[in-house]
Structure 1
Amino acid sequence: MDAFFVAVTMARRGLLTPGAPWRVARQFGALGRWGFGLAGELRQAAARSPERVAVIDDDREVTYARLLARAERLATALPVNAGDRVGLLCRNSARMIEALIGVTSKGADPVLINTGLSAHQLETVAEEQDLTALIHDDEFTGRLARVPGTLDERRVEELIASARRARSEPPVRPGRTVVLTSGTTGMPKGARRPTPGGFRPLCSMIDRIPLRAGERILIAAPLFHTWGFAGLQIALALRATIVLRRRFDPAAVHETLVEKRIGALIAVPVMVQQLMELRPRAKPPALRIAAVSGSALPGGLATRFMDRYGDVLYNLYGSTEASWVSIATPADLREAPTTAGRPPHGTHLTVLGDDDQPVPPGTTGRIVVGNEMLFEGYTGQEQASHRTVELGDLGHLDDRGRLYVDGRADDMIVSGGENVFPAEVEDLLAALPQVREVAVIGVPDDDWGQRLAAYLVLRPGERLDPEAVREHVRRHRARFSVPRDVVFLEELPRNATGKILARELPRPAAG
């Protein structure tokens, strides 16, 4: 059954189109020798479509053949050994992809580092992850004074130029990518990502998100982020042309979508929200797909986005540890804009109650998932053999099998004996026309144990007073969901992937 699913999906997405026999033989030979990790996917793409443009970034265009040649030369010259860990502190660029694949081709483990980390955090990550070297963009040099083994852009170019031959043999031990958790509540941990064992993980994604072989994909999500990294894996497997920008600027990205005739956008929800804040343009992009992941879609955003751009929005719910859990298609989001969708092929999803048994539709419980791409454990710990992972999120299923995420288990508060989910109030307030963005959290309360506090950023020129906010919640939710504290801010604190940093929100006085 899986073989039939894989064959049909690959055919539907243009991966089984005829080609020159010798190129097809080299393509599958590369996968056979190098496997289905990034090193193998780049090599199969270069074998089948060597002259196709692989990457367009802020500085250059590079073909698949050229991208592979540079990555192989870097693998030869890198002063590290198989099994070493090499940090990558880079913004989205062809240079980052060359470094990433060069490291893994050597048999070393690339550690993808969040560009928003402070100098102290970078020093701690380098120590905790036992980095042998750290490849970085020049702009981060000032943060790395206390980190040994750094390789800046000039040094990387020198290594590539100095290589006498390109590495063409697979390492005995394939490199494994380590993705750092988001670190919104403390120091990030390193999660070891598995290498796909075949075509099924790819097909599970492109079955639900209909990306096609050879199309142009703009990956706006950071490549160090689980979703950006997944987008890179998918794009290489599809022999796509990958378009990258070092920084996300909504106006520039919109222009790129139009000028480069982009068919698909890989982004995080805050990026889609910022695109919606642009005035509608006379010439909209001809997007087929806008796939987002990384955080919840703010209330009403899905419908507004599809009203402007068409029914092209796909929302993937997952985590660094689980890869993916469910995918909401445009049809799902039209019918139920807050749904996280359904699990893709090969993924098993359950919602468990306090007795560890599945709960009926409409009942909130703990979300548990199983698939073949669960993480292999955190660095510094023994390799895990997970069959399932509990995400720490609470949610429920509807009678059609669609998942809804009600909030983090540790975000739920008990106010006066009542369970309250801040996310439910966030969605309600985000739908107000005056509100640009909102965060709702629990804070201590002397009388009720905990209460809600709402933090709002208004759209330019708009006004809203705290009592109007409370009254809006009072009309639509129970009294214990009404936030006593309503705080207006210029902006919400976010990390480099757009997640709100709740710990940096100003806390109201207890009372």
Structure 2
Amino acid sequence: MRGALEKVTDNLGAARVLLRTGLVPLRRVDRGIRSLRAVAQYGPFAGLIHAHVRNGLDAVAVVDDRGQLTYAQLEEQSNALARAWVADGVTPGSVMGAMCRNHRGLLLAMLAAAKSGTKLVLMNTGFAAPQLVDVAAREQVRSFVYDEEFADVADALPTDVLRYLSWGADATGSTRNLDELLLGRSTDTVPPPPVPGSFVLLTSGTTGTPKGAPREHTSALSAAQFLDRVPLRSRQTMMMAAPAFHGTGLSQFAVALALGQTVVLQRRFDPVGALALLANNRADVLVVVPTMLQRILDLGADVLAQYDTSNLKVIFAAGSALSPDLCARTTDSFGPVLYNLYGSTEVAVATVATPAELALAPGTAGRPPVTCHVELYDDAGRRITRPGEIGRIFVASGLSFNGYTDGRDKERLNGLLATGDVGHFDEHGLLFVDGRDDDMIVSGGENVYPLEVENLLVARPEVLEAAVIGVEDAEFGHRLKAFVVTAAGAPRDEQDLKAHVKAHLARHKVPREIVFLEELPRNATGKLLRRALIEMDSPYA
């Protein structure tokens, strides 16, 4: 079990990081105390913005399709929205759902929910009506904020759920848009709720209905996990391409606002639009999931050269594995600015790889930042320490959850939480994630992790994406089947790709069959849907 002394050491290390990065202003202790008090009253999101305004920060907080909002405007408008919701009967402790893309409406909903003591469930924008209804019922959602484009999905909710339109002017019936709610409301500071509102993040749902992972208590020291290994600093401009309803986007949104940065929101990702926003806003930081980064790079050198991204200091990628090839292509195009975070909805942060570590070992997940601890265990519960030996990944983090909203939990061992992944450390102590523990394929008595084969395939210049699954085989138990997406106009030579794998890996890791697709099935956060590939292979599909 992780002891009290280790927790004290973690907290001291986190405090040093916050002092080093300037998040805690040594010369203005009064401002630091004011910030801590505001976070205790309103939570990390709303509390920090409230403190910034009280401390006199005069800066643009958000840029979206509708223009700019300053920190003072965010504070005032969220005060008015919180009052409007309370007047509608949105009471402290109640649950609100939000199904929104990246824009000011989502941020205002986050802030107003915190100030009114409301739990906010961040819904996946890729949900169909049945998924939304299932999650809303389980989480006991009583009010719902959504973009106009999701109106058909929202219509499936029970009629007694209060509805608010976050983006789009055509509110009808009992549904009102957020702009309408702000009219005539006081923008003065709202009294703190009994308990600040909190978030419920949803798992990716790649293996079933997404589970709810609550984030009810977040330490002010938690920002140190990101700042320890990533050079995020005050007054930078962050371009948010990753969806803010997901842990990657939400965490970086919180860190950016804590630092007083300007956050440029791309409502719906497209690679050319992302480059234009980076260039036009002279952004220092780009936050993406790996599939977004790949789509930007796939535009080609001629297109990339049309946009000035010379101010870019950090590309922050998280949400799924980064292939060695994608790491190398990113460095070739943007320089040594890529930071790779490994974690999950449940454990939050596990490790971060810096540009130097990615140059040394492309594809690595890096090392644990301050307050994070990573250990590997075999199936018998014995700790693995030898380089190269694969084990199940367990993590201790100050941001780890305390269990799902339905009462279930992830496996815990010696005070650490299972990620559901397997991996190994190399001789430098760098972590590599070899795949999901339930993705392992046993073929002819040999263990195969698909990620190794997939990374080898995407290293080919003509291959954009690859996914490998195991399908039943009478002789070997399972055989490997690969699904490959190639660049436009590139040759689709199955035998050539098989020969490439055979030349680099053991024979049992060579796919027996390769199927070419136009795209791989992914969810809204870019995670590969292996189940869809397995169903595609089913004779009953």
TM bucket normalised to smaller: over 0.9
| Residue of 316, 319, 337 corresponding to 2:341 | 316
Question: Deviation string for 1:457-506 (max 9, x for gaps)?
Answer: 11011012111111111111111111112100111111111111112222
Q: Which residue of 1 aligns with 2:134?
A: 124
Matched, 1:109 2:131: no
Q: Which residue of 2 aligns with 1:407?
A: 435
| Residue of 13, 18, 32 corresponding to 1:5 | 13
The separation in 2 between residues aligned to 1:23 and 1:179, in whole angstroms, is 31
The separation in 2 between residues aligned to 1:305 and 1:488, in whole angstroms, is 25
Q: Which residue of 2 aligns with 1:273?
A: 294
Residues 268, 49 of structure 1: alpha-carbon distance in 2 compared, 3 angstrom cutoff: farther
Q: Which residue of 2 aligns with 1:34?
A: 42
Deviation, 1:426, is 0.2
**SS of the residue aligned with 2:135?**
helix
Matched, 1:254 2:272: no
The separation in 2 between residues aligned to 1:336 and 1:21, in whole angstroms, is 42
Matched, 1:45 2:52: yes
| Residue of 355, 359, 382 corresponding to 1:330 | 355
Matched, 1:503 2:513: no
Deviation, 1:334, is 0.2
The amino acid that maps onto 1:191 is A
Matched, 1:395 2:423: yes
The separation in 2 between residues aligned to 1:142 and 1:419, in whole angstroms, is 45
Q: Which residue of 2 aligns with 1:356?
A: 381
Deviation, 1:17, is 5.2
The amino acid that maps onto 1:210 is P
Is residue 63–residue 264 contact of structure 2 (8 Å, CA) maintained in 1? yes
The separation in 1 between residues aligned to 2:476 and 2:374, in whole angstroms, is 35
Q: Which residue of 2 aligns with 1:147?
A: 157
Matched, 1:97 2:107: yes
Residues 205, 34 of structure 1: alpha-carbon distance in 2 compared, 3 angstrom cutoff: same
Is residue 75–residue 167 contact of structure 1 (8 Å, CA) maintained in 2? no
Is residue 78–residue 109 contact of structure 2 (8 Å, CA) maintained in 1? yes
Q: Which residue of 1 aligns with 2:3?
A: none
Is residue 440–residue 448 contact of structure 2 (8 Å, CA) maintained in 1? yes
Matched, 1:198 2:224: no
Deviation, 1:307, is 1.5
Matched, 1:289 2:289: no
Deviation, 1:332, is 0.6
Matched, 1:341 2:341: no
Q: What is the identity percentage for the equivalent residue pairs of Structure 1 and Structure 2?
A: 41
Residues 277, 255 of structure 1: alpha-carbon distance in 2 compared, 3 angstrom cutoff: same
Is residue 341–residue 402 contact of structure 1 (8 Å, CA) maintained in 2? yes
| Residue of 358, 372, 391 corresponding to 2:398 | 372
Q: Which residue of 1 aligns with 2:4?
A: none
TM-score by structure 2 length? 0.89
Question: Deviation string for 1:149-180 (max 9, x for gaps)?
Answer: 22223512222225346452221122220001
Is residue 50–residue 63 contact of structure 1 (8 Å, CA) maintained in 2? no
**SS of the residue aligned with 1:453?**
strand
TM-score by structure 1 length? 0.95
Question: Deviation string for 1:306-362 (max 9, x for gaps)?
Answer: 111010000000000000111110011001002111111111111011221211221
Question: Deviation string for 1:395-437 (max 9, x for gaps)?
Answer: 1111221111111110001111110111110000010111011
Which moves more between the two structures, 105-114 or 44-53? 44-53
Is residue 407–residue 423 contact of structure 1 (8 Å, CA) maintained in 2? yes
Deviation, 1:108, is 1.0
Question: Deviation string for 1:281-330 (max 9, x for gaps)?
Answer: 14430210001000001341101111110100000000000001111100
Segments of structure 2 that go 5 or more residues without pairing to the other structure are 1-8
The amino acid that maps onto 2:215 is R
Is residue 24–residue 48 contact of structure 1 (8 Å, CA) maintained in 2? no
The separation in 1 between residues aligned to 2:411 and 2:393, in whole angstroms, is 19
The runs of 4+ residues in structure 1 deviating greater than 4 Å are: 1-4, 16-26, 164-167, 382-386
Question: Deviation string for 1:41-84 (max 9, x for gaps)?
Answer: 22122223442100001112000010011111111111311111
Q: Which residue of 1 aligns with 2:69?
A: 62
Is residue 27–residue 47 contact of structure 1 (8 Å, CA) maintained in 2? no
Q: Which residue of 2 aligns with 1:470?
A: 498
Deviation, 1:30, is 2.2
Deviation, 1:449, is 1.1
Is residue 485–residue 508 contact of structure 1 (8 Å, CA) maintained in 2? no
Is residue 41–residue 196 contact of structure 2 (8 Å, CA) maintained in 1? no
Q: What does residue range 430-509 of structure 1 map to in structure 2 within 5 Å?
A: 430-505=458-533, 506-507=536-537
The separation in 2 between residues aligned to 1:385 and 1:294, in whole angstroms, is 21
Deviation, 1:384, is 9.4
